[in-house]
Amino acid sequence: STERTLVLVKPDGVARGLTGTILSRIEAKGYSIADLKQVYATRDLLEQHYAEHAGKPFFEPLVEFMLSGPIVAAVFEGQRVIEGFRSLAGATEPTTAAPGTIRGDLGRDWGVKVQQNLVHGSDSTESAEREIGVWFA
């Protein structure tokens, strides 16, 4: 059935001028933009979005990174878009993410505490609906 997923172009992607490229790659795979905006996150919003990572060693650097600049938030829709976008995004670590993926082609290690990996995508139908509610309240 048709699904929706939350995609974030993180501050590194926006700062590097890759927003258009990234959205274009998702559209080119066949998914549709259902909603789109540029936003500055707040700590409160990020604590909701990343609730499952609270307490992990990278949580604070992750929040600081996500507050460092504008983010582009999008809702994409299509058949199996959650799985399809995660496949397109590639593995968490850009250094070893497969070539052909967004992270593998456009990202690398910048020597900082948090993985600056250009994009976020929801990992299940439940988290997608929850995250869409957080970013598009």
Q: Which residues are known catalytic residues?
A: 120
Q: Segment near ligand CMP (CB under 6 A), from 24-32, 34-42, 114-122, 125-133?
A: 114-122
Show contacts with ligand CMP in window 3-42 (CB under 6 A): none
In the complex, least distance from residue 56 CB atom to ligand CMP, rounded to whole angstroms: 8
Q: How far is the CB of 92 from ligand CMP (least distance, A)?
A: 5
Q: How far apart are CA 130 and CA 113, in angstroms?
A: 27
Whether residue 58 is annotated as binding a ligand: the answer is: yes
Residue 96, φ and ψ in degrees, nearest 5 = -110, 0
Residue 103 interacting with ligand CMP (CB under 6 A)? no
Closer by beta carbon to ligand CMP, 29 or else 53: 53
| 117 contributes a contact to ligand CMP by CB under 6 A | yes
Single out the segment in contact with ligand CMP by CB under 6 A; choices: 26-34, 35-43, 68-76, 111-119: 111-119
Strand order in the sheet with 119-121: 32-39, 71-79, 2-9, 119-121
Neighbouring residues of 38: CB distance < 8 A, sequence distance ≥ 6: 14, 70, 71, 72, 73
Long-range contacts of 16-19 (CB under 8 A, 24+ apart): 18/106, 18/118, 19/72
103 assigned binding-site residue:
yes
Closer CB to ligand CMP, 5 or 117, in the complex: 117
Q: How far, in Å, CA of 69 to CA of 72, rounded? A: 10
CA 81/CA 16 separation, integer angstroms: 25
Please enumerate, by residue number, every residue annotated as part of a binding site: 10, 58, 86, 92, 103, 117
Residues lying near ligand CMP in the complex (CB under 6 A) are found at 53, 58, 62, 92, 114-115, 117, 120
